[in-house]
Structure 1
Amino acid sequence: MSYEWLNGEHCDSHGYLLPALLREADLIGVVGRAFDLGCGNGSIARAMQAKGWKVSGVDPSLDGVMFAKDNDPYIDLHVGSAYDDLRTKFGTFHLVYSLEVVEHLYAPRDYAKTLVSLMQDDGVAIVSTPYHGYWKNLVMALTGRMDSHFTALWDDGHIKFWSIRTLTQLFAEVGLDVIRINRIGRVPALAKSMILVLKKKNNT
């Protein structure tokens, strides 16, 4: 899977994803090491570093990582994926975040296992994905937007469409509890995305 980035700047979705991530990161109470699982073009990692976080990360897009390096040659971002043994290479982190990634993956359980492996025992994970719920799906059906939303003609596009229930179940399988869920990018019932805050079950 590859995502073709055009530059190293924020894309449209970062307008609501980044503020939500920064709010949740501020609630952690400390600033330390963070891992960006699916770092894309590095624009989110740069924003996190500007807040004091020491960020490492990976993305399968060579173009994305090249744009990230063009903006900051020393940024610790690399070509790689959630299917790699990232813990052996990078260690564990107080914060692991992954924005708009899980909907692109054929093997989300492997992704979830990698996510939890990167977390310190007292660490926090923040994950976002497009929101799906009854009222939003109904509005899309009534307004004829189902085809454009489900992006069947987008090469390397979304292949999994998560609800709060299914994503919570995925992370429960690997020992993570959902601490908080926020729907962002419109009114909650029609939200563009949802962002989940997760901790290991024995550290909630």
Structure 2
Amino acid sequence: MECIGALKPSRILDMGAGNGILCADLNRAGYDVVGTDYDEVGIAIARQAYPQLPFYTFGVQDDPALLLKTEAKFDLVVSTEVVEHLYNPHQLFTYASGVLKEGGYLLVTTPYHGYWKNLMLAVFDKWDEHHAPLWYGGHVKFFSKQSLRQLFADTGFDPIEFHGVGRLPYLWKSMVVLGRKRSQ
């Protein structure tokens, strides 16, 4: 929330809103927020729990113009713990770019998978437990600081801020990256 407050956005889109809890928290903090998720069950739960907020069943594969038929462009798109589930993570960034105002921001969180963390998982025989390869709908992409920054850069965003989240540097649980949409 601190990072979001510093940006002073008036409109926020939560991509991958799930059950809507982050949207509700942002709304309570005074933001105009909209949630999207491809999961119809999650959106149904969000609509029931937070009927005052707009939720849409759209995924990153959808045309951003569909959302913009009923919603104005956004100052900030937030996507928490979503990108690692996507076979084509570029779609998330392309969608975000399509719904953001010029100079808008994209805030992405995802599990951290740098060299040292992966090495520790392998050494302590936790690789399969951590990556859960048999989990349907689980993580299919694993990002390091460098690979996520590259994804931002490749899709028209300037990565401007990075934070590791966890107790030990370079063994972080997650990372938070903020990028700004480049002018056309």
What TM-score range do you get, normalising by the shorter chain? over 0.9
For residue 24 of structure 1, what is the amino acid of its counterpart? C
Where 1:127 maps in the other structure, the secondary structure is strand
Measured after TM superposition, the shift of residue 67 of structure 1 is 1.5
Task: Output the CA distance in 1 between the equivalents of 2:65 and 2:32.
Answer: 16
Where 1:126 maps in the other structure, the secondary structure is strand
The answer on 1:101 being equivalent to 2:82 is yes
Task: Output the CA distance in 2 between the equivalents of 1:69 and 1:88.
Answer: 19
For residue 172 of structure 2, what is the amino acid of its counterpart? A
For residue 170 of structure 1, what is the amino acid of its counterpart? L
After superposition, the C-alpha distances for 1:31-55 in whole angstroms (9 at most, x for unaligned) are 4110011101100110011111111
Corresponding residue pairs, total: 181
Which of these residues, 67, 80, 84, is aligned with residue 62 of structure 2?
84
Task: Output the CA distance in 1 between the equivalents of 2:20 and 2:42.
Answer: 7
Q: Is the 8 A contact 2:102 2:182 kept in 1?
A: no
Q: Which runs of 4+ in 1 moved over 6 A?
A: none
After superposition, the C-alpha distances for 1:7-60 in whole angstroms (9 at most, x for unaligned) are xxxxxxxxxxxxxxx0110111x2411001110110011001111111112111
Which of these residues, 39, 42, 46, is aligned with residue 68 of structure 1?
46
The answer on 1:162 being equivalent to 2:143 is yes
> TM-score, normalised to structure 1's length?
0.84
Task: Output the CA distance in 1 between the equivalents of 2:35 and 2:180.
Answer: 20
For residue 174 of structure 1, what is the amino acid of its counterpart? T
> TM-score, normalised to structure 2's length?
0.92
Among the aligned pairs, what percent are the same residue? 36
Where 2:108 maps in the other structure, the secondary structure is strand
Where 1:188 maps in the other structure, the secondary structure is coil
Gaps of 5+ in 2: none
2:119 paired residue number: 138
Q: Is the 8 A contact 1:83 1:110 kept in 2?
A: yes
After superposition, the C-alpha distances for 1:112-156 in whole angstroms (9 at most, x for unaligned) are 111111211121110011101111111111211100111101111
Where 1:190 maps in the other structure, the secondary structure is coil
The answer on 1:116 being equivalent to 2:97 is yes
Where 1:189 maps in the other structure, the secondary structure is coil
Q: Is the 8 A contact 1:31 1:52 kept in 2?
A: no
Task: Output the CA distance in 2 between the equivalents of 1:65 and 1:52.
Answer: 21
Where 1:81 maps in the other structure, the secondary structure is coil
